[in-house]
C-alpha cells in the first residue's frame, strides 16, 4: 500500500535524539530554544514558543490574547476538530462560517457578516497547506479591532504574496508525526507581540517566571528536548520536503483525469500537506476510496464530518446549514503527495485514479 502519509526519519534525526539522551538534558532546554529560533526565522517574526502539540499551542495562543467566556471566535467548520475545540477550552464560543469551494478555506465575505459585539478573534485555518486570503482577513480584523490566530498546522513554509504563514497574526503550527515537518508530537506559536509571547511562556509552564513562584494558573505544555531534536533535524529538510511535495502535486495535476484536482491560486505558495480531489457530484466516494485502497493506493478523508455537525458541537452552536463545507465533507478525498513517493508510486496512483 502506498501510504497517505509517511514520517521521514533519517540519520540526523536519530543522532540528534541520541545526543539529547546522552546529554542528560531531556526536558525543555537548549534544543527547544533552537527549534524556536528556527521557527521565528522561518516566519520572520520576533518570537516562537514551543509546546506539546498544535492543540495546546492553539489553546495558549487564544488565552494569551485574552479570549475567554463571553467571547466569540469566528472559524471554519471544515478543519481538524482541534481548531474549534481550542476555542471551547477557553470558554469562548466558536462561530462557524462557510468555506470557499476552490480552496476549502473560510470565506472572508461570510466572516465579516458573522461579526457581533462579542466577536474577539478570527481563527482561520490554512487547510491542506494553502493559505487563506490574507489580504481580506487582516483587513476585516483591522476594521473591527479583532485578533487573528492563524491555524497553520498544515502550512509550515506556506506563503501569501511571499509572506510566511504564521506571520500575519499569531500563528500556530503542529509537529505531529504526519505534518510536513514533525517531531513525533509538538506545537509552535509564532508572534511579533511581546506580551502575547510572554503570556504563552508563562502559561506553558505553570505561570512560573521564577522557580516555584507562580504568577497565575498555568499548564504543563512544555516540549521536551527529545522532541525538539527531531524537529530541528526536520527543519533542515523543510525546503527539500516542500520542493518534493510541489513536484508530486504538479505530476498529479498533469495526469489525473477522472477527478477535479486542487490548484494553488496565483500568489499563494502552496505546501501540499494534502492533495485533495473532488469526485463529481453524485459519484460514490466510499466506493472510489475502497477501489483505490484495494489497488494499493492509500487515501484519507479530511474531514468526513464538518465540525458543526458533531453532536456535542450541535448542542453549543445549534443546527447550522453550511452547504459548501457539508458538500466538501461528502465529496473530497486525499491522495498521497508526501516527499517519499517514488516515480513508480506516482504512476500507480495516476493509473488507479484514472480507472475510477
Ligand atoms: C494537526 C492539526 C491540529 C492539531 O495539532 P496536534 O499537534 O495534532 O495537536 C490543529 N489544526 C489543524 C488544522 C491540524 O491539521
Catalytic residue among 179, 209, 309, 355: 179
The 10s digit of each residue's pLDDT in 214-271 is: 999 999 999 999 999 999 999 999 999 999 999 999 999 999 999 999 999 999 999 9
340-344 mean pLDDT: 98
The 10s digit of each residue's pLDDT in 75-114 is: 999 999 999 999 999 999 999 999 999 999 999 999 999 9
pLDDT at position 82: 98
Grid cell listed for 296 = 494499493
Q: How many CA atoms lie within 13 A of 173 on its CB side?
A: 35
Kindly give the distance from the C-alpha atom of residue 142 to the centroid of ligand 1, in angstroms, as a whole number. 26
The β-bridge relationship of strands 47-51 and 213-214 is unpaired
The 10s digit of each residue's pLDDT in 181-196 is: 999 999 999 999 999 9
For the cut 90, the answer to whether the pLDDT of residue 314 exceeds it is: yes
User: What is residue 338's three-state secondary structure?
Assistant: coil
The β-bridge relationship of strands 187-191 and 170-174 is antiparallel
pLDDT at position 213: 95
Domain residue extents for the chain: 11-235, 238-353
Active site residue 179: yes
213 forms beta bridges with 210
Q: In what order do the strands lie in the sheet with 268-269?
A: 163-164, 159-160, 268-269
The residue whose CA has the least distance to atom 10 of ligand 1 is: 82
Confidence of residue 280 (pLDDT cuts 50, 70, 90): confident
Confidence of residue 281 (pLDDT cuts 50, 70, 90): confident
For the cut 80, the answer to whether the pLDDT of residue 54 exceeds it is: yes
- Give the integer Cα–Cα distance in Å for 105 and 114: 16
pLDDT at position 121: 98
Given ligand 1 and candidates 7, 77, 99, 154, which is best to mutate, with the most ligand atoms within 8 Å of its CB? 154
The 10s digit of each residue's pLDDT in 7-53 is: 999 999 999 999 999 999 999 999 999 999 999 999 999 999 999 99
pLDDT at position 159: 98
Atom number in ligand 1 closest to CA 57: 9
Give pTM, 2 decimals.
Answer: 0.98
pLDDT at position 282: 82
Question: 11-235: which CATH number, 3.40.50.300, 3.40.640.10, 3.40.1350.10, 3.40.50.10800?
Answer: 3.40.640.10
Mean pLDDT (the chain, rounded): 98
DSSP, residue by residue, 50-117: EES-HHHHHHHHHHHTT--TT-EEEE-SSS-THHHHHHHHTT-EEEE--B-TTT-SB-HHHHHHT--T
With a CB cutoff of 8 Å and minimum separation 6, the contacts of 184 are 175, 176, 177, 227, 230
> In the chain, pLDDT over 70 holds for what percent of residues?
100
Instruction: Report which of 277, 239, 233, 234 is spatially closest to residue 258, judged by C-alpha positions.
Output: 277
CATH of domain 238-353: 3.90.1150.10
- Give the integer Cα–Cα distance in Å for 318 and 73: 16
Query: Is 79 near ligand 1, meaning CB less than 6 Å away?
Result: yes
287-310 mean pLDDT: 98
Given ligand 1 and candidates 55, 125, 180, which is best to mutate, with the most ligand atoms within 8 Å of its CB? 55
> Beta-strand (E) ranges in 128-184?
147-151, 159-160, 163-164, 170-174
Amino acid at each position: 500500500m502506498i501510504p497517505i502519509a509517511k514520517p521521514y526519519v533519517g540519520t540526523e534525526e536519530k543522532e540528534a535524539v541520541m545526543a539529547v539522551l546522552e546529554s542528560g538534558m531531556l526536558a525543555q532546554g537548549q534544543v527547544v530554544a533552537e527549534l524556536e529560533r528556527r521557527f521565528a526565522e522561518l516566519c520572520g517574526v520576533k518570537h516562537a514558543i514551543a509546546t506539546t502539540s498544535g492543540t495546546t499551542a492553539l489553546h495558549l495562543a487564544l488565552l494569551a490574547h485574552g479570549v475567554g467566556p463571553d467571547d466569540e471566535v469566528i472559524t471554519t467548520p471544515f478543519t481538524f476538530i482541534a481548531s474549534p475545540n481550542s476555542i471551547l477550552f477557553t470558554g469562548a464560543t466558536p462561530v462557524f462560517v462557510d468555506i470557499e469551494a476552490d480552496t476549502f478555506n473560510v470565506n472572508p465575505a461570510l466572516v465579516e457578516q458573522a461579526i457581533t459585539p462579542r466577536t474577539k478573534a478570527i481563527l482561520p485555518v490554512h487547510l491542506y497547506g494553502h493559505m487563506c486570503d490574507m489580504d481580506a482577513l487582516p483587513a476585516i480584523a483591522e476594521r473591527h479591532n479583532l485578533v487573528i490566530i492563524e491555524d497553520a498546522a498544515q502550512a509550515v513554509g506556506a506563503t501569501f504574496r511571499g509572506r510566511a504563514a504564521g506571520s500575519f497574526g499569531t500563528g500556530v503550527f503542529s509537529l505531529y508525526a504526519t505534518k510536513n515537518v514533525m517531531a513525533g508530537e509538538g506545537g509552535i506559536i509564532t508572534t511579533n507581540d511581546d506580551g502575547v509571547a510572554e503570556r504563552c511562556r508563562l502559561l506553558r509552564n505553570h505561570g512560573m517566571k521564577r522557580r516555584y513562584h507562580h504568577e497565575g494558573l498555568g499548564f504543563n505544555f512544555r516540549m521536551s528536548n527529545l522532541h525538539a531534536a527531531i524537529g530541528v533535524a526536520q527543519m533542515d529538510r523543510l525546503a527539500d520536503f516542500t520542493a518534493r511535495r510541489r513536484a508530486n502535486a504538479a505530476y498529479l495535476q498533469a495526469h489525473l483525469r477522472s477527478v477535479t484536482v486542487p490548484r494553488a491560486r496565483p500568489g499563494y505558495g502552496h505546501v501540499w500537506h494534502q492533495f485533495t480531489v473532488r469526485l463529481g457530484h453524485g459519484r460514490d466516494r466510499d466506493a472510489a476510496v475502497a477501489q483505490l485502497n484495494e489497488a494499493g493506493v492509500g487515501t484519507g478523508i479530511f474531514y468526513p464530518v464538518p465540525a458543526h455537525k458533531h453532536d456535542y458541537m450541535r448542542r453549543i452552536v445549534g443546527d447550522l446549514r453550511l452547504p459548501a463545507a457539508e458538500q466538501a465533507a461528502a465529496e473530497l478525498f486525499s491522495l498521497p503527495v508526501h516527499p517519499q513517493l517514488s516515480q513508480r508510486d506516482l504512476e500507480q496512483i495516476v493509473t488507479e485514479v484514472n480507472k475510477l
